[in-house]
Structure 1
Amino acid sequence: MSVSKRVTNSEIFYKLPQTKVLFLREIKQSQLLSALWSRKATPSDDINCISSLPVPVKGWKQTFHEIKLSNPEKSNPSLLFKQVVGYGRIMFKFYKTGITNIWKNRQQMNQLRNHIFKIEGQLDNRGNDVAIKLPPFTKLTELMSQKLFIDRIEFKSRNQKTAGDVKRSTGTAEQTTTPQLFNISRSQYQLLKRTPHDLLRLPLFAIIALIFEEFTPVICYIFPQITPRTCVIPSLLPKIWSSKPIQTLTNETINMNSTNLTDLSLKTAYNLQPHRVRLLSQSLGLVNKHVPISLYPMIYLRNRLQEHYNYLNVDNYYLTGFNTQANIWNLTNQELLLACLERNLIFDIKKDITEFSNLIDDNTRQTFEQRYFQELRIKLLQFLIEFPGANVGYLCINHSIPNRNEQTEKILEWL
């Protein structure tokens, strides 16, 4: 009979050293920390899939304010008309660019599937000549996640066997993962993930954009599920990524001690409590917001959570910097925001968007934006350090981990 080993709190939650000197010493001794802390001005094309995200666009408040300043002689209703027309032109150009990018992404995706990652001259079980292509994204992610899992197990076993034989000098990191495991870049990987999602929504959205023109944002606000990812304006994010489930999960876990938090963080998609499965599915956007969550079979929700867990494992590998020199420090702000939303790292996206959109002065907006994304980057860094030792349940406790805000502030000081 085997005895299961209980995971201690220290194996899940990273304890930040008191000083930067000690922290830098730990970095030299950890392959994970070393890869994460490395900041190099490398090309970001490998890690950012810019064409699959919306282009930057001004909010209506900022647009109205700028038009008012540039037309001091005008007053209502002529000023209001000019503001509406000006914002409508901005949105029309925004949606046109988004729709164009979807079509270009489709061509790139087909190129990846049918040419770049196609292997000719293979034989099937019957001896017929066949070509091997990339499987569907979910299956591809499952295979990549399995490869990462096997790789870590092999390194763990090897390190345990040689622990008594090898004496590492100070500053030499113990290897726990094979670098450059995948020929496909994160940019290509995300293109394969996001493009099918957008293509399904493209026909209906294109018709709506042609009919309603500048009123399209209103339709999207009422029915956010019809909007392709390349056409999502900032004010629409709270409709797509609901904060209420995250707040409910946090209220349930905020008073838990470290032992209970650890136990919850180790829960898998198949033994997590049903009500938390539903809350996670809602917060991560794995279900349609217009369909009551109670109508979804529990096994369907658990399978979706497991698929998301596989995806996070693969994406974390890229973001850590193991596959290329680019890591979280090379992410654009939009990629960073989406990565944090996919990991439940943003407590109230509606509050954040509202606060930012209310800022009119450019200097104030720039200061707020810089600070906000610095904090998000550190939160993502902390997530990438701890998630390898946890499971799906960790997504329930992001905002309940003790001293997390203090650690974030300390790391910001050390940058």
Structure 2
Amino acid sequence: MVPFTVVRAYSVSQQATRRLINFETSDLFAQSCRDNECLSQLANIIRKTQSDKISDLKPLKSSTINSDRSLPIPVFPRQEIFDQVDQDVAVQQWRKFPTKWFRFGKFVIKNYTSSLRNMWGLFKDTRVIHKEYRDFNKLVMSTSKTIEFAEIEAKVTKSPLKSLQLTRIQFQEYRRRGEFYKVPSFLLILLLFEEFTPALCYVFPSLVPWNCLTPSAYKKLSSKGANVNLHGDLTKSNEYLSPYNVPIDKAVEFLANKRVLSRWQTVFYRIAGNNDKIYEALAQYNQYLLVDDWLLLTHIFEAGTIDLSNRELINAIFERQLYNASEDLGTMIVNEQSRKTFLYRLMFYLAFRYNSTLRAGGDKQFTEAWGVNNIAILNIPGTSRFLEPRDLDKVK
């Protein structure tokens, strides 16, 4: 087991020792499960959950956790369309090549129009929550306080944690609501460039609503966003790290790759000497992940299953940096073994953070375990390396 020590924010003399999850052998993983009750619970849930052998074109349905309409399609079914043309006897041989690309182009345009309709529906459906909060960061801060008060109440009264009124789908769709304002400019691009729109989406992904992003553009963003380390060697990052102590270049790279701030915004803030805006955005992103982790873990424990859709799963992997730059998340997610690998990576991340906390049946508040806004654990996967498909036999 690899020791991982974190100094609490409120007392540098008090230390909470954490252990990274070890899956190098079946015995070491079994020991990790004994040491980490949250990991043990999540591993049992994964084992009980049936693998979902479904096409991403017919994603999983869940009223409280998945919002596929607000996320991009991971992979275009190009080969499937080409195979259909090859098998279509009504299409003469000399017409097959242009017909393949024509039908594929029709699918891409249909995907764009469907995504734009979905974005309009999302915008309308989030009007009530927008009227109450007016800003997503206000919702994050309000929910963070609600979680903290719920933890305090549960600890003092020794009663179960109360569920939040907010569901994960409400939380995520309100966050993605801002993408609607890219629709007018994207419609203009679509009308002017038509079949050349995917190429423009690849070159300028920031112009595109998130759910209209092409698989190639998504891969480009995810490759750039992998391995942005804010704190050095994860096995030696043993102190509390404030958002304001992160090197500014790393903070800028991280936020730009996660589309929290655009490149031009970070350039403007730095020229104006207003680095605090960048650090505030980093702190807010950390708080966003804390709330999303809480909602996700709550749903998993209450439902007794992990019913994340393909789109939501790779989005969670992307946001938490639980992948290598060489991995194509879109093509991997449609493979059964790779999907299960991503599930385990997400579970390791959650188990590492939440073991011994009230949310996982422990006796500590999250801030007691890790400190307030501790960036030192922002992109820690909970393991010394990422689980690979070849390692799945060790974690059964």
| Equivalent residues of 1:201, 1:228 under 8 A apart | yes
CA distance, structure 2, for counterparts of residue 257 and residue 138 of structure 1: 28
Structure-2 change in CA distance of 1:31 and 1:372 (3 Å): closer
Matching of residue 369 in structure 1 with residue 335 in structure 2: yes
Aligned to 2:122: 105
SS in 1 for 2:259: coil
Residue 218 of structure 2: aligned partner? 237
Contact 2:137 2:284 in 1 (8 A): yes
Q: 1:15 to 1:186 in 2, by over 3 A?
A: same
Of 236, 247, 261, 2:237 maps to: 261
The Cα of 1:155 is off from its aligned counterpart by: 5.4
Query: Is 1:4–2:17 an aligned residue pair?
Result: no
2:378 maps to 395
Residue in 2 that maps onto 1:18? 27
Partner deviation per Cα, 1:357-400 (whole Å, 9 max, x = no partner):
xxxxxxxx89x61111111111111111223544323235549x
Specify the structure having the higher radius of gyration (Cα).
Answer: 1
Distance in 1 (alpha carbons) for counterparts of 2:337 and 2:206: 30
SS in 2 for 1:193: helix
1:45 aligned partner: 63
8 Å Cα contact 1:102-1:199 kept in structure 2: yes
Residue 247 and residue 51 in structure 1: after superposition, are their counterparts in 2 closer, same or farther (change >3 A)? Answer: closer
| TM-score (norm. length: structure 2) | 0.74
Counterpart of 1:288? 262
Q: Show the counterpart of 2:105.
A: 88
**Residues 220, 226 of structure 1: 8 Å contact kept:** yes
Asked whether 1:319 is paired with 2:319, we answer no
User: CA 1:97–1:244 in structure 2 vs 1: closer, same or farther (change >3 Å)?
Assistant: closer
Aligned to 2:244: 270
RMSD: 3.7
Is contact 1:246–1:396 with CA below 8 Å preserved after alignment? Answer: no
Q: Distance in 1 between matches of 2:107 and 2:307?
A: 28
Normalising by structure 1, we get a TM-score of 0.71
Match for 2:229 among 234, 245, 249?
249
Q: Is the 8 Å Cα contact of residues 320 and 328 (structure 1) preserved in structure 2?
A: no
* Deviation for aligned residue 1:81: 2.3
Provide the rounded CA distance (Å) in 2 between the counterparts of 1:248 and 1:111. Answer: 36
- Cα shift readout 1:122-170 (whole Å, capped 9, x = no counterpart): xxxxxxxxxxx244211011111123234445656788xxxxxxxxxxx
**Aligned-partner Cα distance in 1 for 2:296–2:393:** 19
CA distance 1:225–1:24, shift in 2 (3 Å): closer
1:306 to 275, 283, 289: 283
Q: 1:104 & 1:203 partners in 2: Cα distance?
A: 15
What SS does the aligned partner of 1:321 have? Answer: helix
CA drift of 1:7 comes to 2.6
| Pairing of 1:110-129 with structure 2 (within 5 A) | 110-113=127-130
| Whole-Å separation in 2 of the counterparts to 1:201 and 1:74 | 42
CA positional deviation for 1:283: 3.5
Kindly indicate whether residue 311 of structure 2 is the aligned counterpart of residue 334 of structure 1.
yes
Deviation digits for residues 255-304 of structure 1, max 9, x if unmatched? x473x2333xx312122233332332233232324677586442122111
Aligned pairs for 1:208-247 within 5 A: 208-241=189-222, 243-244=223-224, 246-247=226-227
C-alpha spacing 1:239/1:321, structure 2 compared with 1 (3 Å): same
> What is aligned with 1:385?
351
Q: CA 1:139 to 1:248, structure 2 compared with 1: closer, same or farther past 3 Å?
A: closer
Is the aligned partner of 1:74 residue 2:93?
A: yes
Contact 1:201–1:227, Cα closer than 8 Å, also in 2: yes
Q: Which residue pairs with 2:53 in the alignment?
A: none
SS at match of 1:4: strand
Q: Which amino acid aligns with 1:53?
A: L
Is the 8 Å Cα contact of residues 286 and 304 (structure 1) preserved in structure 2?
yes
Amino acid at match of 2:237: L
Kept in 2: contact 1:138–1:307 (CA 8 A): yes
Matched, 1:204 2:185: yes
Q: How far apart are 1:99 and its partner, in Å?
A: 0.8
Number of residue pairs aligned between Structure 1 and Structure 2 = 353
For 1:189, the equivalent position in structure 2 comes to 171
Report the Cα offset of residue 109 of structure 1: 1.0
User: Distance between the aligned counterparts of 1:33 and 1:158, measured in 2?
Assistant: 26
Are the equivalent residues in 1 in contact too, given 2:33–2:40 (CA < 8 A)? no
- Mark the runs of 5 or more structure 1 residues left unpaired by the alignment: 115-132, 160-174, 357-364
CA shift for structure 1 position 233: 2.3
